[in-house]
Amino acid sequence: MDTRVKSRIHRYDPTTEKKVSIYQPDQPGLMFPGIPEFSSYEQERQYLKERLVGACRAFALQGFDYGFAGHLTIRDPERPHLYWTNPMAVHFNQVKVSNLILADHEGNVVEGDYALNRAGFVLHAAVHEAHPDILAMCHAHTTYGTAFASLGKPLAPISQDAAAFFEDHAVIDDEAGQVAVEVKAGGSVAHHFKGVKAAIHKNHGLFTASRHSIEAAAFWFIALERCCQQQLMVEATGQTPSLVSPERSRYSREHVGSEYIGWLHFQTIWSELVVTQPDMFD
């Protein structure tokens, strides 16, 4: 008898242009987060939009706001060539379900009353179009991530947390320092996201991408920013840090750096937002 709690995890299959689901085994009989099954695209769309708003609110809590620079995207479940994103020039803390916008790869707003962030369209649309398996992306101009990106080097496995990104992030030198609104900037960086969950764009900042959920993309962005901060702090001592070995780093990445673990970490943030910020559902 299969006693697993069915926690639905979507993955996009580019060969069939359909989403397939797998089920994550939980602890039967005990309270544990799970993704519900949906009887319609409308139900799933509402769920995804709410989680996108939650990710925006989480970015606000982390202080990832810098003017209108910052954008999060999630594919529509029924129309995967379209993606939901936060509205232009609206603070992360004021994003709600009712003001999200739906855009296509050409930058046309299909649904919603607000303008589209051009930078969000150029880079996110290019990555989404080049990688149909990527469901969600996050980017913001953060203090430590932007500072670390100026070094043009990968994150070092100085801890178990940092090892979650070992061989699972790219460093992008292409178009370093170029204003992201130029269309060619998007196409030139998209190929770097193949098979990784994060990218450090030199002289620009951090990006995360998820084949699983907006929650995973958001948590791994928060985690990557934190790891950049920690590495900068360690390097500021002038001492050489001890690194986790490649073998142990790979073990940590597989066990604590997966998409599912990122999703699970975000549930602590989500449960707090549901209680403290009910206006996000408006």
Each residue of 36-50: pLDDT tens digit? 889 999 999 999 999
Measured in whole angstroms, the distance separating CA 250 from the mean position of its chain's CA atoms is 21
The model's pLDDT over 136-164, given as tens digits with 9 standing for 90+, comes to 999 999 999 999 999 999 999 999 999 99
* β-pairing verdict for 18-23 and 70-75: unpaired
Share of the chain above pLDDT 70, in %: 85
Confidence of residue 53 (pLDDT cuts 50, 70, 90): very high
- What pLDDT does residue 174 have? 78
User: What single-letter DSSP state applies at residue 239?
Assistant: P
What are the residue boundaries of the structural domains of the chain, listed by start? 41-281
Please give the CATH number for the structural domain made up of 41-281. 3.40.225.10
Confidence of residue 222 (pLDDT cuts 50, 70, 90): very high
Measured in whole angstroms, the distance separating CA 69 from the mean position of its chain's CA atoms is 15
| pLDDT of 81 strictly over 80 | yes
Q: Alpha-carbon distance 267 to 197, whole Å?
A: 19
pLDDT mean over 121-147: 94
pLDDT mean over 10-24: 43
pTM of the full structure: 0.89
Q: Alpha-carbon distance 161 to 154, whole Å?
A: 14
Return the SS3 of 5. Answer: coil
- What pLDDT does residue 197 have? 98
pLDDT: which is higher, 60 or 7? 60
- What pLDDT does residue 254 have? 95
- What pLDDT does residue 181 have? 53
- What pLDDT does residue 182 have? 55
| pLDDT of 175 strictly over 80 | no
